[in-house]
Amino acid sequence: MSSSAQDRRRRILEAVRGLGSVRVVDLASRLEIPAVTVRRDVAALADEGRLVRTHGAVALPEGAAATAGGGAERLIGMLVPTLGSYFDEVVAGASAAAAAAGARVVLGIAPYDSGDDRAQVERLLESAVDGLLLTPNWKPGTGLDESDWLGELPVPAVLVERRAAPASPAAELDAVCSDHRHGVLLALRRFAGLGHRSVLLAARDDTRTAYEVRAGYAQAVEQLGLRGAPVIDTPSAADPRSAVDRQQVAARIAEAAASGARALLVHNDQDAIQLPPLLRSFGLSVPEDMALISYDDVFASLSAPPLTAVAPPKRAVGATALDALLRRLDAPGELPVQHVELLPSLKLRASCGEPVRGARQA
């Protein structure tokens, strides 16, 4: 029975760590693997920077220092749903923490709604990663109902910005995420402090974070004694009708403003930045007529006016998840499962405006 590519490459790395520079033919003989297969695996590992080939021999890269535990550089696979916005900072935090610990991160990307999570994880495992940081595409309001395979991973894994359903196999994995519900509470508390008694929410409904923001809104409205309203659905950027739909979003906000609403929380930055010019077509200015807070704080400071924003601790989430994975690698089976939530902060800028004139402030 032949071993998988993942197992072969792991054995190759372990042999090279123990032997130092070794000829490929001798490595094949020692591992009892056909030389042509070893050459193919060595080429793949060399392309990833994990091995160096010289004159028929193979060795660890120069400067591949031992980690604190005495081993060679660890390779961490990281699955994310997208790059170019929120997860850039999460990846940056994990990469910086990995570099400080003598490890390295390699990425897999499974776009939203692609159903590609498992295939991307299998590709990462074929690269002989030592552990995994996973942000799977969970449907809003659920855990990974169709991902029992998470309980069968051959290496330790940590969930990143995901909270598992209690009955899911993923609940047995370490997890690190932002407490988005607390972030929404911060935003609504700010509005209440400025004297607003009615607060609107405009949000997407297609991601796990959007679900948490919506749930946090319902909780915060009740907790703070504010007047809530039905959530205004914002379109996905991939929707071909998004420009028309955003005009309709602005119309709904203007309608609510005519009934007295003067405060708006928007998930996410991309949608929040596009709203002020749309609202002006309805005679509403930010912040004079509508106080606005954005959720995510990726691009909020670049808006005109700069947007007050809830800032999830994105880099800290990545770094904390990486540290949790390294601890799990150093002490397999010895540590209790950890579910860690980090609190967002509120970045105050111009879009919230001044206290409401004549209102009693909370």
Structural domains of the chain, with CATH:
5-59 (1.10.10.10), 74-178+314-342 (3.40.50.2300), 180-312+346-352 (3.40.50.2300)
Cβ partners under 8 Å of residue 147, min gap 6: 117, 118, 136, 168, 169, 170
pLDDT level of residue 179 (50, 70, 90 thresholds):
very high
Which has the closest alpha carbon to 145: 176, 117, 178?
117
Query: Which of 22-26, 221-225, 284-288 bottoms out in mean pLDDT, i.e. has the lowest?
Result: 22-26
Residue 296 has pLDDT above 80, yes or no: yes
**pLDDT band (50, 70, 90) for residue 66:** very low
Q: Once rounded to an integer, what is the mean pLDDT over residues 52-56?
A: 80
- What pLDDT does residue 225 have? 97
> Which ranges constitute the DSSP H helices of the chain?
5-19, 24-31, 35-47, 86-100, 117-126, 180-193, 208-224, 242-258, 269-280, 314-330
Average pLDDT over residues 49-60: 81
**What average pLDDT does range 188-193 have in this prediction?**
97
Match 């392309």 to its residue by tokens.
47
**156-166 pLDDT, tens digit each:** 999 999 988 78
pLDDT the model gives residue 206: 81
Mean pLDDT, to the nearest integer, of 112-124?
84
CA distance 171 to 150: 10
The arithmetic mean of pLDDT across residues 183-209, rounded, is: 95
Q: How many CB atoms lie within 10 A of CB 258?
A: 10
> CA dihedral defined by 13, 14, 19, 21, rounded to 10 degrees?
10
CA within 13 Å, CB half, 259? 11
What is the predicted pLDDT for the residue at 13?
82
**What's the average model confidence in pLDDT over 250-268?**
96
Q: So what's the pLDDT on residue 141?
A: 52
In whole angstroms, what is the distance from residue 263 CA to residue 289 CA? Answer: 9
Q: What is the CA radius of gyration of the chain?
A: 25
The overall pTM is greater than 0.85: no
Residues 281, 268: Cα–Cα separation, whole Å: 21
